[in-house]
Amino acid sequence: MNEIRRVTTTAAPLPVATPWFTATRIDEAITLVTEPHVHPLLRANTWHIRGRDHDLLIDTGLGVASLRSALPELVGTHREPVVVLTHAHLDHMGSAHEFTQCWAHDAEPVAEAGRGSLVTDELAGMVGMSALYTDDLPPLLVGAVPDADYDTSTYRLLPTAVTRALAEGDEIDLGDRVLHVLHLPGHSPGSIGLHDRENRILFSGDVVYDEFLLDDLLGSDVAAYRSSMHRLLGMDVDVVHAGHEGSFDGARLHELVDAYLSPPR
Ligand SMILES: [Zn+2]
């Protein structure tokens, strides 16, 4: 009888990383939460803003570990924040289902089940990342797991109900701080930015960050992206807290926008 041999990969198990999240205090109200063991492509920034009447959580990470249970220690308060999603990509809305309030633009598929993967090839097929780009990526987009039993192959986004649909011009009032909603489509149809005019801060999501910008995903729209970028050119802010990578000033914002809008050489 012929023995059928299947070639299996015997990769070493991933290390267990605890704690999963790291927090960086930006000022007395704003804390950055991130996931250091996630590949930079999916390592998104989660911004917690402490307000007088409400706290806000801008995006929620990948959802590999429970953000809601880790959050009090990370941000120093047990008060449950209102979640605002800049858009519904997996690295931004993974833990949104854990929270009572979830606000997002209604052009984003927040309530859609079964999206997302930590396996690069599978994710590329789902979101339309070009083969050229995925060639540079490792097969798995996490370098650790939050506990020894975590199975990276089963990762999927949990659908989340949007409790308030956000639109251009909406105001989010925290009592001592108001954030203005900017609808900035292009990266995704319902991408939003949040503009704190008084403090001259822009929370930009994936519309602009200090790295290669993605405008060829499923749902991306280059023409819309360009007009969103033209809007950002007209903005005068002191700091941009982006969806990925480090924060930057208004001059760097204009450089990044100019670079995007320049025709390729
Ligand atoms: Zn995105």
Q: Write the single-letter amino acid at 141.
A: L
- Rounded to the nearest whole angstrom, what is the distance from the C-alpha of residue 10 to the centroid of ligand 1? 32
- Report the phi/psi class of residue 199: left, alpha or beta, with left for phi > 0 and alpha for psi in -120 to 50: alpha
- Rounded to the nearest whole angstrom, what is the distance from the C-alpha of residue 77 to the centroid of ligand 1? 28
> Per-residue pLDDT tens for 213-230?
999 999 999 999 999 999
- Rounded to the nearest whole angstrom, what is the distance from the C-alpha of residue 187 to the centroid of ligand 1? 7
- Rounded to the nearest whole angstrom, what is the distance from the C-alpha of residue 153 to the centroid of ligand 1? 21
- Rounded to the nearest whole angstrom, what is the distance from the C-alpha of residue 64 to the centroid of ligand 1? 17
- Rounded to the nearest whole angstrom, what is the distance from the C-alpha of residue 87 to the centroid of ligand 1? 7
- Rounded to the nearest whole angstrom, what is the distance from the C-alpha of residue 126 to the centroid of ligand 1? 13
Residue 40 preceded by cis peptide, ω within 30:
no
Could you give all domains of the chain from N- to C-terminal order, each with its CATH number? Answer: 22-261 (3.60.15.10)
Cross-strand pairs, 173: 178
Q: Which of 162, 213, 172 is closest to 193 using CA atoms?
A: 172
**What three-state secondary structure class fits 79?**
coil
- Rounded to the nearest whole angstrom, what is the distance from the C-alpha of residue 8 to the centroid of ligand 1? 33
- Rounded to the nearest whole angstrom, what is the distance from the C-alpha of residue 89 to the centroid of ligand 1? 5
Question: Residues with Cβ < 8 Å from 208, sequence gap 6 or more?
Answer: 229, 232, 240, 242, 253, 256, 257, 260
- Rounded to the nearest whole angstrom, what is the distance from the C-alpha of residue 6 to the centroid of ligand 1? 37
Note down pLDDT in tens along the chain; length 265 residues.
Answer: 444 444 445 567 899 999 999 999 999 999 999 999 999 999 999 999 999 999 999 999 999 999 999 999 999 999 999 999 999 999 999 999 999 999 999 999 999 989 999 999 999 999 987 755 777 889 999 999 999 999 999 999 999 999 999 999 999 999 999 999 999 999 999 999 999 999 999 999 999 999 989 999 999 999 999 999 999 999 999 999 999 999 999 999 999 999 999 976 4
CA distances to 46, 67, 110, 223, 260 from 116, rounded to whole Å, are 18, 18, 12, 26, 27
Average pLDDT over all residues of the chain: 93
**What three-state secondary structure class fits 196?**
strand
Question: Measured in whole angstroms, how far is the alpha carbon of residue 107 from the centre of its chain?
Answer: 16
> Per-residue pLDDT tens for 3-43?
444 444 556 789 999 999 999 999 999 999 999 999 999 99
